[in-house]
Each structure stands twice: as C-alpha cells, then as structure tokens.
C-alpha cells in the first residue's frame, strides 16, 4: 500500500466543478488502496486578490498580518475539497499548516520549513481518512501563521512527502508534464517522460513555472520521486528521477525562457580589491534580486566594468542604485537596458558533449540575434537576448538541438563531439 502525496495547483481547484473533479480523482486513487494526502493551493487568482485587498488598507504588502490574510486562500480550498470528498462518499479531514505542525522560521512571506510533525496525519490515514492539507502555510514555534513564498504549496507537498516517507509526490497541473519548450511558443515541443532532478532544478530556477525550485532541491536531497501530470486527463506525465536512472541522453533536454530581465552596466569603476564588495552591498541594500554578474577588467587604466541582471520588477531600484554607486566614482557611468529575456538550454548530457555553446551561438547568430550576456553551469547555457527575438530563438534552438524529433522518449544516442 503506497503513500502518495497529490498536490493540486490553483487552476486545478479554480472553481467548484474543478474541486469536484479533484475529489473524484483523489477518491479513485484511495480506492486502489493507496493512502492519499492531498495538498492544495488557493483558487487561481485568489492570492493576488488577497494581496490587493490587503494593500487597500495598508501601505505595506507583507508582514505578519499579510501572512494571516494570504493563508486564508488555502484554508478555503482545503475545506471545500474535504467537503466534496465527503459528499462523494469517502471520509476526509482537512488540516491547516499549524494543525499538522508545519513549523517554520519567522520570516513572514518567505518562511522556511524547519520541521513537520506527522502524528496527526498518520493517525488520520490509519483511520481511513483522506487527508487534505493547506499548502503554502505553516506557523512559527510561537504560533504566528507564516507563508512560504509565492508558489509555496509545492514546498509543502514535498516537505510532507519527506516527513511522511511517501512513495512519491504527484503534482497535478493544467499541463501534461515537462516539455522540451513552451508548447504555446514551439508547436513542435515534446513532453519529456523523464527528467533528472538536476535538470528540473535548473529549469525551475531559469524560469520554467512548473515546479518551485526549493521543492525540487528538497526532493533531490531526499531521493523522493516526483511526478508532474495533468489534472484534466490520465496521461502518465513526467517523472523527475535521479540522473543515474537516465541511461543515455541528448546534450540538451529543454529550452527555458525567463521574461522581463534587465541588465545594468557600471563602467569606469576603479579596479581595486573591495570595490565589488561595495557595489554589491549597495545593490543588496536596495533589495534587488540579482541574477547574473559579469566583471571584466578590459582596460589598462585601472578601471573595470561590472554588469548584473535582475527582474524588471526591480528596474526602478536598480536604476537608483546604479546612480548612487557611480556618483561615488568620478568618471564612471551606468547604462540600464530593459526588455531582455534570458534564454537557456538545459541538459545533464552537456557534461558529456562538447561544443554545445558554440552550436547555440551559431544558431542565434544565423538569425541575427544579439547576445548581451552569457552564463553557464555544467548543465546549462543562458543567454540574455532582446525580448522581441525570444520566440524565434526558442524555435530555432529547438530545431538545432533536435528536440522535437526523438523517436522514443528522450533516450536516444546523440551525436557526439559537436
């Protein structure tokens, strides 16, 4: 008898009919003899609505009371799903974060889970209940309600999976699984039957909005199998597995595009130890969430150029910080370029294949796409390009790396030594 965590996102519980259909799915799994713990998000759009509501009476947009407010979205869906399951004839019980003792740090709106008590959940499962747990929320040791950050229900699901030693966590979405590229951009995109944790982690960090990176990392560390599948059909979906389970694979598994990127360049900054520390302390103080950093001492006059990227939500703050930083150094200047996208190719197979970056740059150059910054790891290459070229670039790279034409799944011998 397996213990399965099923997580349903906001779209899957976005209305009463959807909730009824989730109830039927959950009951079908439980009827096979599995023990089922369900984690739900708030109804689609509800968390945004609650944030806006809070902002109508407060100049703030986060803090203790905001977490009390936002946690209410998941309280509603948890209760509605438990009611719908009971109505369809199975025993169900709902628990909020503090009731199953999901204990977190006190960092409101971005709390970290410290521990999960399994007693109440295991007791309810033993009595034959389907357990429905509110995602996204926990409580501090002192009893204040906390939330885990946007998209945090994924983290709840994996944390429960780890604590309960579940056999797997199934994520139910409005998409069929993980694709080689966004199917709305690339009609040729293919669903990947399996991806490695490391690939999933990179894709999540690089802008694929499918799973929260923190939950992928937690699952990887604990060897907990994940499945991403649709709540609208019965297709098997994508399994996220250890890399060792993928026998042979292509250099590139998927293409991800992160929109709304901004590049800030600081030129003519004095080149001496401690300068970078000063620059990035100022950036951190402005609470700018930076991504790529490039420092390049090109000139012989003791000056250097530093560039960094951030999301466009931080554009105004970045401009202000750049102005402040450069005003401290006579002769220095700054430039801010918005309207950029970060286009990334990801694949564990890159470790075995050479020339992947060259192939990417050649393909982009052929289409006349300029690259403004490059960043790599052992399993990804990211390029900053103009937003207007990103769809063309995704389709071009999808074709160049032959992502649309695998004969059976992703396993195929890729040509080596490119």
The helix or strand, by DSSP H or E, that contains position 130, with its residue range, turns out to be strand 130-134
Pick 7 or 194: Cβ nearer Mg ion: 7
104 contact choice in Mg ion, ligand ASP, none (CB below 5 to 8 Å, kind-dependent): none
Q: Which of residues 35-64 bind ligand ASP (CB under 6 A)?
A: 41-42, 47
DSSP state at residue 414: P
404, 190 contact by CB (below 8 A): yes
Pick 150 or 337: Cβ nearer Mg ion: 150
Stretch binding Mg ion (CB under 5 A), from 9-17, 175-183, 262-270, 368-376: 9-17
Query: Could you tell me the smallest distance in angstroms from the CB atom of residue 152 to ligand ASP?
Result: 5
Q: Which residue has the tokens 């099923």?
A: 6
Pick 156 or 382: Cβ nearer ligand ASP: 156
Query: Could you tell me the smallest distance in angstroms from the CB atom of residue 82 to ligand ASP?
Result: 18
Pick 173 or 342: Cβ nearer ligand ASP: 173
77 in contact with ligand ASP (CB under 6 A):
no
Query: Could you tell me the smallest distance in angstroms from the CB atom of residue 237 to ligand ASP?
Result: 18
136 in contact with ligand ASP (CB under 6 A):
yes
392, 401 contact by CB (below 8 A): no
Pick 25 or 263: Cβ nearer Mg ion: 25
152 in contact with ligand ASP (CB under 6 A):
yes
Query: Distance between CA 43 and CA 38 in Å, rounded?
Result: 15
Stretch binding ligand ASP (CB under 6 A), from 21-29, 147-155, 268-276, 319-327: 147-155
The helix or strand, by DSSP H or E, that contains position 92, with its residue range, turns out to be strand 92-95
> What's the chain's Rg over C-alpha atoms?
23
To the nearest 10 degrees (0 to 180), the angle between helices 275-285 and 315-327 is: 140
Residue 227 vs residues 144, 203, 328: alpha-carbon distances, Å = 32, 15, 52
Tell me the site size for Mg ion, rule CB under 5 A. 2
Query: Distance between CA 14 and CA 172 in Å, rounded?
Result: 13
334 in contact with ligand ASP (CB under 6 A):
no
78 in contact with ligand ASP (CB under 6 A):
no
Judged by CB under 5 A, the residue of 14, 135, 138, 151 near Mg ion is 151
Residues 209, 386, 183: CA angle, nearest 5 degrees: 35
Query: Distance between CA 290 and CA 279 in Å, rounded?
Result: 12
Pick 209 or 272: Cβ nearer ligand ASP: 209
54 contact choice in Mg ion, ligand ASP, none (CB below 5 to 8 Å, kind-dependent): none
User: Per this entry, what is the length of the chain?
Assistant: 418
First-residue to last-residue Cα distance in the chain: 48
344 contact choice in ligand ASP, Mg ion, none (CB below 5 to 8 Å, kind-dependent): none
Query: Could you tell me the smallest distance in angstroms from the CB atom of residue 349 to Mg ion?
Result: 29
CA dihedral sign of residues 318, 323, 327, 330: positive
Residue 5's CB: how many other CB atoms inside 10 A? 27
Residue 316 tokens read as 């105004």
97 contact choice in ligand ASP, Mg ion, none (CB below 5 to 8 Å, kind-dependent): none
Judged by CB under 6 A, the residue of 54, 97, 135, 237 near ligand ASP is 135
9 in contact with Mg ion (CB under 5 A):
yes
Judged by CB under 6 A, the residue of 14, 54, 73, 237 near ligand ASP is 73
Query: Could you tell me the smallest distance in angstroms from the CB atom of residue 46 to ligand ASP?
Result: 7
Query: Could you tell me the smallest distance in angstroms from the CB atom of residue 9 to ligand ASP?
Result: 6
Pick 18 or 395: Cβ nearer Mg ion: 18
List, in order, residues 6 or more apart from 254 with CB less than 8 Å away.
178, 179, 180, 181, 192, 195, 199, 203, 208, 345, 346, 347, 403
Taking Cα atoms as reference points, which of 174, 154, 136, 170 lies closest to residue 12? 174
Pick 69 or 201: Cβ nearer ligand ASP: 69
Strand 92-95 vs strand 130-134: parallel, antiparallel, or unpaired? Answer: parallel
Tell me the site size for ligand ASP, rule CB under 6 A. 11
Which residues, in sequence order, are bridge partners of residue 228?
Answer: 171, 238
384, 372 contact by CB (below 8 A): yes
138 in contact with ligand ASP (CB under 6 A):
no
Judged by CB under 6 A, the residue of 4, 5, 6, 10 near ligand ASP is 10
Residue 260's CB: how many other CB atoms inside 10 A? 16
Q: What are the residues binding Mg ion (CB under 5 A)? A: 9, 151
Q: What are the residues binding ligand ASP (CB under 6 A)? A: 10, 41-42, 47, 73, 135-136, 150-153
């Amino acid at each position: 008898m397996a213990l399965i965590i099923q997580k349903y996102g906001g779209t899957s519980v976005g209305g009463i009919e959807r909730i009824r259909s989730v109830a039927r799915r959950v009951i079908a799994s439980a009827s096979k003899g599995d023990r089922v713990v369900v984690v739900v998000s708030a109804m689609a759009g509800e968390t945004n609505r609650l944030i806006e509501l809070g902002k109508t009476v407060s100049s703030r947009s986060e803090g203790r009371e905001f977490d009390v407010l936002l946690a209410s979205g998941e309280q509603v869906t948890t209760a509605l799903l438990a009611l719908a399951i009971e109505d369809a004839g199975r025993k169900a019980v709902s628990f909020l974060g503090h009731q199953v003792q999901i204990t977190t740090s006190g960092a409101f709106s971005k709390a970290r889970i410290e521990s999960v008590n399994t007693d109440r959940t295991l007791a309810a499962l033993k009595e034959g209940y389907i357990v429905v747990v509110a995602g996204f929320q926990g409580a501090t040791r002192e009893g204040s309600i906390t939330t885990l950050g946007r998209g945090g229900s994924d983290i709840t699901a994996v944390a429960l999976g780890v604590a309960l030693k579940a056999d797997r966590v199934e994520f139910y979405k409005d998409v069929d699984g993980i694709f080689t590229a966004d199917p709305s951009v690339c009609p040729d995109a293919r669903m990947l039957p399996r991806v490695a944790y490391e690939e999933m982690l990179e894709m999540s960090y690089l802008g694929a909005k499918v799973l929260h990176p923190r939950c992928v990392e937690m699952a990887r560390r604990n060897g907990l199998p994940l499945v991403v599948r649709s709540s609208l059909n019965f297709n098997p979906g994508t399994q996220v597995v250890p890399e060792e389970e993928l026998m042979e694979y292509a250099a590139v598994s998927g293409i991800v595009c992160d929109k709304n990127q901004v590049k800030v360049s600081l030129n003519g900054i004095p080149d001496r130890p401690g300068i970078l520390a000063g620059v990035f302390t100022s950036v951190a103080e402005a609470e700018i969430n930076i991504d790529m950093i490039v420092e390049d001492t090109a000139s012989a006059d003791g000056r250097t150029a530093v560039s960094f990227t951030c999301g466009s939500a931080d554009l105004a703050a970045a401009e202000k910080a750049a102005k402040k930083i450069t005003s401290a150094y006579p002769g220095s200047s700054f430039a801010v370029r918005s309207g950029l996208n970060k286009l990334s190719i990801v694949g564990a197979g890159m470790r075995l294949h050479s020339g992947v970056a060259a192939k990417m740059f050649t393909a982009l150059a052929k289409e006349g796409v300029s690259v403004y910054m490059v960043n790599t790891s052992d399993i990804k290459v990211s390029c900053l390009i103009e937003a207007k070229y990103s769809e063309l670039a995704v389709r071009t790279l999808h074709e160049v790396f032959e992502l649309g034409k695998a004969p059976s799944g992703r396993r195929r011998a890729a040509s080596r030594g490119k």
